[in-house]
Structure 1
């Protein structure tokens, strides 16, 4: 069985050209079989008319939290509903997070998350968080890399007394990551500062969502980003900063990259377009629905994020998709520190970025493909299996209509949550068809996601990349002193 995408314009990270694309269905390999002009449709093929539309690599969201147990509750989107919602918006792969509890063995947590993810309707991989340290963590990191294809590890510098990694954990885990050729990733917020600011605000009687951004000012993020970068610099390991929201962190990344350091930055569409005024909404439920960390920021910071994308200092776009319904957010009605942190976006990421990025002239269509798919595939070692329109790659594709529009609303979205942070936003440029390994999972407004159709993505280390880093580190070692 095959699917022929006919008459479209292919846009990848580098090129734009007219061609048809012939895809095998999952049972026949699920890869791209042919790319060329005026391809013949094989007998029995499904034909998708892409005339006047673009054919692009399916989106890769490298930062999601499906089914996450967090702050006394569990995120309402599970691996099926969350990946299905992503498919409706053009996202064909996610990289989620295994987050062990303090002292929980990494492999035990990994096995739990693998079980939950078996219901996924799109392909998925995992980062694994290092939330504590001993010799078992050291060993489990090796097992995860060598046997399970986990080549990135997450470190929360926030959430004191829960999952926060202190500097000792960072140094040990970063060093082990270098040994294994794995990429450390960091949630950059100074957890001690956040904790103390929260206590001060509560003592002064600030208990509502408006206190949330006050407890996590931009400087808290900038300090942590710079500290993580400098620890990585001393140890000679690359580092990836997740959900950059503040100019302070963008500046830290830009400064490090100008010094030749291997630092990557990620940004969320919400941080690009949503203003911090949402926390002062007189409707407590609406304000609380926006509580996530880092928080949404002022115009100065949003503009810095756009500039960071344009200048290549920020490389990927993700969502940090971690949704909680109003009844769950209400756990913090009398104490903002108990509002479960998290917002949605896996369904709307690509449309929001196209509308506010490409349609505004901030991004070219090729740059859009880089920041929504190809860069993530390359950084996290999925390329060219993912993130590319080429023969032999997985047939993860989105047929994109740049002239079609929709208004985002909780009434029509597929995410399993009763609020949408982009509610009422009209976007021009939407996914008309989404293929996951050659199967149509979204077509003309019909969601055909199949429970359990997603595959686990092993992501082995990239030896060439890390060999280059080790060579550079070797050059920094002092010459032996002759006696």
Structure 2
């Protein structure tokens, strides 16, 4: 359907202007003042509203098999909840089991994702190394549009990468023009601390942050960054939660190294006191890795986002309900790691970022969509109000408010880590490739509407990097 959005303030990453926007065939056909409505076009009156690119969440885990269970949000329910909150695209993760073919895992995840209500792409995790992994990384990059690969430095005896795997995979990424990303926690130290705490009788959720102190994140971030420096490869550090990791990123960027940082909405506003809740269910609901940190780290993360050392905001959306979390009732190391957030990221960032003066509306667009689109090679198809871009759009009411609650959210989970927060700044309409999927509380997500996003590699830029070595 042809749609004319009339009278909004168009807010892109680099500029804002008052005008109209025309959607035809799922794409932005025109922008400007006083556009003429084609015959039969739907007219949306957007007076008093902001019109922005739909959010891109570059870090989600829909229906992830993990720690003996499966995340409760699947690709339909999770992306539908995202649309209700203004997120129109996700980049999820294919995580092969050790010794599993990367291609076999990729095909499995592609099958699960066919039900998605919004567009999606994949990072693929490297969980082991062999000549076959080397070959399949090339196949994924050149034939299937996978231009980023994930490396877990945590989860010993499961999916953890040692330094040899990091070196081999980073080198292969550089050859392909693909971006290596890392979950930075020293898995050996975490494993040792977990065993020590359980031996001391500390088995509740309070043991989770004790076993993953900020230093283990800082060490791993610095190590991964320095490995990338030696190899001449760019690197992207996911869910930065500790100021020590931010300091490693900032130091490397000040030295001219190409390093990108991601921060989660939750890490910006939730502190580690949640793990000391005497109610196991509430405390366990917050168990994720890295854990929520003391308030001093939140202040540092906001400063890093404002200064441009952290570039994207994400959620690490990976939901587990109370009966699933109960697997760790007597041993915190068995609590499935993960929290929700895809529905609330945009409002949390606006309320705590824009309303506080930490971010401008244009910077909000950068950190919620444009930067992710550029870093992961989706721009300007995504993350932009340019003519020709996909009509992934959000109409935003900066004066509107809502109180976040499990009773009203669309996420398929029985807890919300932002429960009870009242946020000012809410989505009124969400369009996914021109389809109106959400309007003022009415979620109209369409199962299977989402399309796979093939992302070309950064081969030309990486070739230039290699010439400098």
* TM-score, reference length from structure 1: 0.97
In the TM superposition, residue 421 of structure 1 has moved relative to its aligned partner by: 0.0
Query: In structure 1, what is the Cα distance between the partners aligned to 2:178 and 2:409?
Result: 36
Residue 140 (structure 2) aligned to one of 136, 139, 144: 144
1:462 corresponds to which of 442, 445, 458: 458
Q: d(CA) in 2 for partners of 1:464 and 1:401?
A: 40
Q: Distance in 2 between matches of 1:188 and 1:76?
A: 25
Q: Name the SS of the counterpart of 1:64 in structure 2.
A: coil
Matches of 1:422 and 1:288, distance apart in 2: 14
Other-structure match for 1:102: 98
Residue 467 of structure 1: CA displacement? 2.6
Q: Per-residue CA shift, 1:229-285, capped at 9, x if unaligned?
A: 000000000000000000000000000000000000000010000010000001110
**Residue 386 of structure 1: how far off its partner (Å):** 0.4
For residues 411-466 of structure 1, the C-alpha deviation after alignment (integer angstroms, 9 at most, x for no partner) is 00000000000000000001100000011000111101000000000001123321
* Distance in 2 between residues matched to 1:413 and 1:189, nearest whole Å: 31
| Deviation at residue 362 of structure 1 after TM alignment | 0.5
Contact 2:176/2:459 (<8 A) preserved: no
| Partner of residue 337, structure 1 | 333
Length, aligned pairs only? 469
Q: Matched residues in 2 for 1:364 and 1:37: separation? A: 23
User: How far apart are the structure 1 equivalents of 2:357 and 2:386?
Assistant: 27
Aligned counterpart, 1:267: 263
Aligned-pair CA distance for 1:394: 0.4
1:376 aligns to 2:372 (yes or no) = yes
Could you say which residue in structure 2 is the equivalent of 1:404? 400
User: Is 1:365 the counterpart of 2:395 in the alignment?
Assistant: no
SS for the counterpart of 2:59 is: strand
**Greater mean alpha carbon deviation, residues 456-465 or residues 400-409:** 456-465
Structure 2: segments with no counterpart, 5+ residues: none
Deviations 1:145-200 (A, max 9, x none): 00000000000000000000000100000000000000000000000000000000
- Give the alignment's TM-score, normalised by structure 2: 0.99
Per-residue deviation at 1:40? 1.7
Hey, what does 1:157 align to over in structure 2?
A: 153
The unaligned stretches of length 5 or more in structure 1 are 474-483
Answer whether contact 2:208 2:291 (CA < 8 A) is retained: yes
* Distance in structure 2 (CA, Å) of the matches to 1:208 and 1:397: 43
Supply the RMSD in Å over aligned alpha carbons: 0.6
Please list, as runs of the form range in 1=range in 2, the aligned pairs for 1:101-120 lying within 5 A after superposition. Answer: 101-120=97-116
Alignment correspondent of 1:81: 77
- Whether contact under 8 Å (2:178, 2:459) holds in the other structure is no
Aligned partners of 1:3, 1:93: CA distance in 2, in Å?
20
Aligned residue number for residue 54 of structure 2: 58
Contact 2:20/2:35 (8 A) holds in 1? yes
Question: Among 226, 238, 261, which residue is 2:234 paired with?
Answer: 238
SS in 2 for 1:352: helix
Aligned counterpart in structure 2 of residue 289 of structure 1, from 258, 277, 285: 285
